[in-house]
Structure 1
């Protein structure tokens, strides 16, 4: 999701432009909201995953205990975590999207602004959005978010557990093994579901886009967003930013899974029994 001034730029040129107009601090816009969000999100994601998995095994034993259970439990836990933390995700996206020129023009002594409105923090975003649209405003774009997170979270856990089944017993506790399996799971999960993430972000920042302010139509739903972006901006736009997202998300997922499994070992939580398909 890019502002008009960044739409035709690649990753390197976009980074240079942010540095020029906003300085180093521009690279960290929305990071506070991201940190505040990720702690409860990750905790809920992994905790509810184990709860859903146990519930499915207890109530639907005919399904066995293979990776399909991880697919279902992962999807349900991802949806739960998103619903509980979505307003913070909205705040993060809006804070990161707004473009403010914080560099002072030394000749005139004037600090210029690129785009309005400029939010002043997480609380300002949440109160402003709630004032404009109520609870529905705070969950603007949650549809495509859920449409993306359900397959993404499910695939992530599914692929991770399938890969671990093929790891020799002597390497099961290797940190490098967990990192490798997690990286592959994150790579495939992101690739398959990224277009839905593009729609989600565009719906979240519609109120900041000039076309919306000037009376442009909003996306009615996820499918409408996908077709509109493909029709008006080309299908490649549905994958815009995927490469840089790999740089962020693949190691993030890898570290998340490795930390999760290593913490279970350090806390002496009994390992699972071998999955049966």
Structure 2
């Protein structure tokens, strides 16, 4: 009788209950990976045109280094069409899904580990700062070659209006890559694993404070929001935007050095650029040869980009966590297990 009752129950909607029962059996860390990866993909695709333009400004790509954001966007459309806005976005999304998944999941796990092993730190924003920083570093180490590929693809400009013959010559002149796999193979062939991590120094130096500040500010702002507004999408978007703006301002020059290091061998061969041996040398060289303003090239577009990017990322993560029935953040692993 009990069995037939269960079967009949499917007709009136209990299948949804069964589905949630199945979701509940998925380990929490797997749900966090799914939520983080999906959130990252949504956020990155939404700001892809601004991200492409920012990279062109940061790396002083020929024909773009003296243009502003609006003129750069117009020139991209003129030379490559709307598709030009999304060049490198495939590599960006392929990178951001594992990056965001690892970043959010390890943040939750590191946070629980800190709470369990260092109770003296309390449960406040310092824990979010430390967990976010280490999680950011972990995610970067796991996905950096994909970021390198994304930058190299976004850096190259190919005029889609020209003839096949002229286009072929331009491809050869600008070391153009045909896709993510092609970038990875050629970079590895030219310099091995070390070349795949070119620019990792400024990336790590920048991501540790940025990732930490981002989580710190977001969680601290949410703590100070009245309880009746805790689930508001507008509240989450606002907190995420402020978190991104604050963290990015302090670490942006390091991002500029990273981008230039990622493409410097192309600049060196085609434009006589300088090769940086370290982050500090890159900072000094940029200030001396390009002016201190270059350390903030593309920052205005990054402000425009970071508002929707981080806001969408945090908001999507929180909403997908709720959809996947991930329980509220626990105080410790012991509580989580319970």
State the TM-score bracket (shorter-chain normalisation). over 0.9
Cα displacement (A) at 1:109 = 8.0
Q: Which range moved further: 143-152 or 214-223?
A: 214-223
Quote the residue 1:81 is aligned against: 139
Could you give the per-residue CA deviations for residues 149-193 of structure 1, whole angstroms, max 9, x where no partner exists? 111000000001111111001111111111110110011111111
TM-score (normalised: structure 2)? 0.76
Indicate the residue corresponding to 1:99 in structure 2.
157
CA distance in 1, matches of 2:160, 2:198: 28
Q: Go from structure 1 to structure 2 and tell me whether the alpha carbon gap of 1:272 and 1:122 turns closer, same or farther (over 3 Å shift).
A: closer
Q: In the alignment, does 2:91 pair up with 1:33?
A: yes
1:250 aligns with 2:307: yes
Confirm or deny: 8 A CA contact 2:238 2:311 kept in the other structure: yes
Structural mapping, 1:50-129, within 5 Å: 50-104=108-162, 110-111=166-167, 113=170, 115-129=173-187
Structure 2: gaps spanning 5 or more residues: 1-58, 332-338
Count how many residue pairs are aligned between Structure 1 and Structure 2.
272
Write the mapping of 1:1-277 to structure 2, written as runs, cut at 5 A: 1-104=59-162, 110-111=166-167, 113=170, 115-209=173-267, 211-212=268-269, 216-272=273-329
Contact map agreement 1:98 1:208 (CA 8 A) in 2: no
**Cα deviation, residue 104, structure 1:** 2.2
Using the TM superposition, name which of 211-220 and 144-153 deviates more. 211-220
Residues 2/214 of structure 1: CA separation in 2 closer, same or farther (3 Å cut): closer
- Structure having the higher helix fraction is 2
Equivalent residues of 1:212, 1:218 under 8 A apart: no
More deviation in 216-225 or 182-191? 216-225
Query: Offset at 1:16?
Result: 2.2
Is the partner of 1:148 in helix, strand or coil?
helix
Contact 1:71 1:157 in 2 (8 A): yes
Deviates more, 1:225-234 or 1:213-222: 213-222
RMSD after superposition = 2.0
Structure (1 or 2) with the larger CA radius of gyration? 2
**Greater RCO between the two (CA within 8 Å, min separation 6)?**
2
Deviation at 1:135, TM superposition (A): 0.1
- Runs (4+) off by over 6 Å: none
Contact conserved, 1:102 with 1:113, CA < 8 A, in 2?
no
